[in-house]
């Protein structure tokens, strides 16, 4: 699988640009934090980055190794060739302990983890404790962990990863160095897709890769999955990808909405549904286009695309109704129904406003 095969293995390869820069500066400095907190949505590279940090601080051929103290080695990058780096990559290194708090969240799980901090490193310079989905830890577990974070052993580094910062106690957050992964940007996802395409000899044009990036739900993992699926199905054109993503003909719908033709609107939606269109992707794409139009009309960004004829108030109303439709998708027995209701309501309100 592409997303596993092309997981970053060094700081340099981390796809999230802002996180890469910050981690580089931290590892370049003379002191290491005793606890990292990696925050961001799924598929943004938090766990991969945690493993890279673990390799970096335990590598035998960089600035953190014992031999570097008497040599001129100054790189903080893991070499990925020494015994320590390779063991960490295989998840068999005794000084790196990973725990998934989604299934190991109780007080006893945390106490067992804390007991491990009393042991000195066996093969590396640090014992690294990676806790994924850290927000799932129980209150009792957090209280136990807090004591260790307040007075951590010098040879221990904690790396907490979470998709939900709000569920972490402030006392835990304040004792960690926070690195925000946020959502993967389309630009960073595009760069990753270019890198994978080059390695796999996939000859996709840039506009095609940008389309994949924009429909990856801000996730490097999802972007890599879509690229692999499209490549396996021998899809080569924008039109084929739009059909695969369930967004084929979206510009046609925007044009129909502009002239406010209800019959054509319902006919288009019916055809879209009959062809297996994905209404979640459709709404996301239309909202993205409407948001750009809103910024263009308010002169926040330059007009790089054709400006639609809807007014600012009409765009705002349509976005509000489509957001409601998006929320209703999970509860509808008919996939097309929320969008149909939203557009009927939009046309009715616009018409009512004309009559007043």
- In whole angstroms, what is the distance from residue 331 CA to residue 17 CA? 37
Q: pTM of this prediction?
A: 0.77
Q: What is the pLDDT along the chain (356 residues), one digit of tens a residue?
A: 898 999 999 999 999 999 999 999 999 987 899 999 999 999 999 999 999 999 999 999 998 886 655 455 678 999 999 999 999 999 999 999 999 998 887 889 999 999 999 999 998 899 999 999 999 999 999 999 999 999 889 999 999 999 999 999 999 999 999 999 988 888 999 999 999 999 999 999 898 999 899 888 889 999 999 999 999 988 888 888 887 776 666 778 999 999 999 999 999 999 888 877 889 888 988 998 899 889 888 888 766 567 889 999 999 999 999 999 999 999 999 999 999 999 999 999 998 888 77
Element containing residue 254 per DSSP (H, E): helix 250-259
Hey, what are 296's tokens?
């263009």
Distances (CA, A) of 155 to 47, 134, 214, 313: 21, 21, 42, 59
At residue 249, the pLDDT reads 67
Query: CA neighbours within 13 Å on the CB side: how many for 224?
Result: 22
- In whole angstroms, what is the distance from residue 169 CA to residue 146 CA? 10
At residue 104, the pLDDT reads 81
């Amino acid at each position: 699988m592409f997303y596993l095969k092309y997981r970053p293995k060094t700081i340099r390869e981390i796809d999230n640009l802002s996180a890469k820069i910050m981690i580089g500066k931290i590892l370049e400095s003379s002191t290491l934090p005793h606890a990292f907190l990696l925050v961001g949505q799924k598929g943004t590279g938090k766990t991969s980055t945690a493993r890279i940090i673990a390799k970096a601080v335990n590598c035998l051929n960089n600035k953190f190794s014992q031999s570097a103290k008497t040599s001129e080695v100054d790189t903080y990058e893991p070499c990925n060739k020494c015994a320590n780096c390779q063991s960490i990559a295989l998840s068999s290194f005794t000084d790196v302990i990973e725990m998934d708090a989604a299934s190991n969240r109780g007080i006893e799980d945390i106490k067992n983890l804390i007991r491990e901090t009393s042991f000195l490193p066996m093969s590396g310079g640090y014992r690294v404790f990676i806790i994924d989905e850290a927000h799932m830890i129980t209150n009792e577990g957090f209280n136990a962990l807090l004591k260790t974070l307040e007075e951590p052993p010098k040879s221990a580094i904690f790396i907490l990863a979470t998709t939900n910062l709000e569920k972490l106690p402030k006392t835990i957050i304040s004792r960690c160095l926070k690195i925000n992964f946020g959502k993967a940007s389309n630009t960073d996802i595009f760069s990753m897709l270019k890198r994978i395409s080059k390695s796999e000899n996939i000859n996709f044009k840039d506009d095609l890769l940008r389309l994949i990036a924009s429909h990856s739900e801000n996730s490097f993992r999802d972007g890599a999955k879509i690229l692999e699926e499209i490549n396996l199905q021998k899809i080569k054109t924008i039109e084929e990808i739009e059909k695969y993503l369930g967004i084929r003909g979206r510009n046609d719908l925007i044009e129909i909405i502009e002239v406010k033709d209800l019959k054509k609107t319902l006919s288009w939606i019916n055809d879209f549904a009959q062809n297996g269109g994905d209404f979640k992707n459709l709404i996301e794409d239309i909202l993205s286009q409407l948001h750009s139009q809103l910024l263009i009309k308010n002169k926040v960004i330059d007009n790089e695309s054709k400006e639609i004829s809807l007014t600012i108030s009409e765009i705002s109303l349509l976005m509000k109704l489509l957001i409601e439709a998006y929320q209703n998708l999970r509860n509808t027995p008919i996939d097309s129904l929320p969008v149909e209701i939203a557009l009927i309501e939009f046309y009715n309100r616009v018409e009512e406003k004309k009559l007043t």
